[in-house]
Amino acid sequence: MNKAMLIVMDGLGDRPVKELEGLTPLEAAHTPHLDALAARGVAGLMNSLGVGLRPGSDTSHLAILGYDIERYYTGRGTIEVSGLGMDLEPGDVALRGNLGTVDENLTVMDRRAGRITDTGPFVKDLDGLTYEGVTLKVRPGTGHRAGVILRGPGLSSRLSDNDPHEVGVKVHEVHPLDDSQEAAFTARVLNHFLEEAHRILANNILNQERIKSGKPPANYLLCRGAGYYKQIEKFQARYGLKACAIAGGGLYKGIGAFTGMEVLTVPGATGLPNTDIEAKFRAGLDALAGAYDFAFVHIKAADTFGEDGDHLGKMNFINKIDLAFRLLLDAPHLLVVTADHSTPCALKKHSGDPVPIIMVGDGAVRTDAVTAFGERACARGALGRLTGLQVMPEIINLLGLARLIGD
Ligand code: ZN
């Protein structure tokens, strides 16, 4: 067994729900396939960042893929722009962007410019602007989104957002978040670019047309999540495994691209409850049957239901995931099934509660007494309690690729 599939179900973990007779949505769901896998493998619990820490989805995925966030994580912007296919160079500052609508006083009227569907014709006029030795690079994302990179010497990502995150409020100036010259310089340059971008966007003929037809103009670039890019060792160089990423959501494609995986496009993979999970699993199996040694498959929507406090929606989505798992029962690969963090329906946000993890590979992985995939069941497993950074070393061990330490 020399290939592996890592399946991460976002926000899967939960707490007991009274309306589900004290079970979690995962425990209450009908999961015969996941349970069968749990019975064939070894189980445990995992805290992606460590006990008591509340992980974001970006940091938790980096940790699970073996990248220490202390060293590699500087902000979400770098990961998001990677997912848009923008190449980062060491020293770049990257931000997540939205095209929004402001009035003449720069008050935000709509953070998504009426959920504009294509920012390409707008941001093309911003790409390549220069100021004080810094170049602005902008590329359209999905819907109202865009990726933003500042490239030049002496930059810092210690920057506040100009996006006020609410409507009816004036756009913020970008402020440096520390006393360094670099942060002050970068804030000044970015503020200049944002003013210039507003002028250019407001004059875009397409916006005149939008106003005439009663649509909010896409006249302001709202930025957040600045990150600073340091060279990172790519997944293949680190583990010797040629890897691909299969995901619907932009952040997770970004995680794949950021760590040097090939990001595969799977029709029907939406990152939403309607996503085609079976298509993702088939794409993963095809990849592993071909040139790839490692497939990272991400499934988003359990997290979304958790954040909505919708325990029934979460349970039903887990039913749907489990049905798709029948495709993996006979896979001749190491299967690692887990989540990035818990998103308890009662909290409607991420929590630091550990998540279940199983590792399954007939003949290559020991078994334990666990016969169900759930928070309580996996707590009795032989893997015990892992941190995210321990997942990849264990995968490498089970694949027989771990280096001998000593003689
Ligand atoms: Zn997540």
Tokens of 244: 């691909």
Distance, CA 58 to ligand 1 centroid (Å)? Answer: 7
Q: How does 151-175 read in b/e, with b if 16+ C-beta sit within 10 Å? A: bbeebbbbbbbbbbeeeeeebbebe
CB 154 within 8 A of CB 181: yes
Residue 76 C-alpha to ligand 1 middle, in angstroms?
13
Q: Which of 100, 92, 178, 105 shows the shortest CA–CA distance to 136?
A: 92
Give the pLDDT of residue 126: 97
Angle between helices 277-289 and 311-324 (to 10 degrees): 40
Contact 337, 383 (CB under 8 A): no
- For residue 271, the model assigns a pLDDT of 86
Using the mean position of ligand 1's atoms as its centre, give its distance from the Cα of residue 189 in Å. Answer: 33
327 secondary structure, DSSP code? G
Instruction: Identify whether the C-beta of residue 372 lies closer than 8 Å to the C-beta of residue 38.
Output: yes
- Between the CA of 145 and the centroid of ligand 1 the distance, in Å, is 20
Q: Name the residue among 395, 382, 386, 397 with its Cα closest to residue 5.
A: 395
Q: What is the pLDDT along the chain (407 residues), one digit of tens a residue?
A: 899 999 999 999 999 999 999 999 999 999 999 999 999 999 999 999 999 999 999 999 999 999 999 999 989 999 999 999 999 999 999 999 999 999 999 999 999 999 898 999 999 999 999 999 999 999 998 889 999 999 999 999 999 999 998 999 999 999 999 999 999 999 999 999 999 999 999 999 999 999 999 999 999 999 999 999 988 999 999 999 999 999 998 899 999 999 999 999 999 998 889 999 999 999 999 999 999 999 999 999 999 999 999 999 999 999 999 999 999 999 999 999 999 999 999 999 999 999 999 999 999 999 999 999 999 999 999 999 999 999 999 999 999 999 999 98
Tokens 């930059």 appear where?
155
Q: What is the pLDDT of residue 356?
A: 98
The Cα 312–Cα 304 span in angstroms is: 12
Q: Report the C-alpha gap between 257 and 391 in whole angstroms.
A: 20
Tokens of 80: 């998001």
Measured in Å, residue 88 CA sits from the centre of ligand 1 at 24
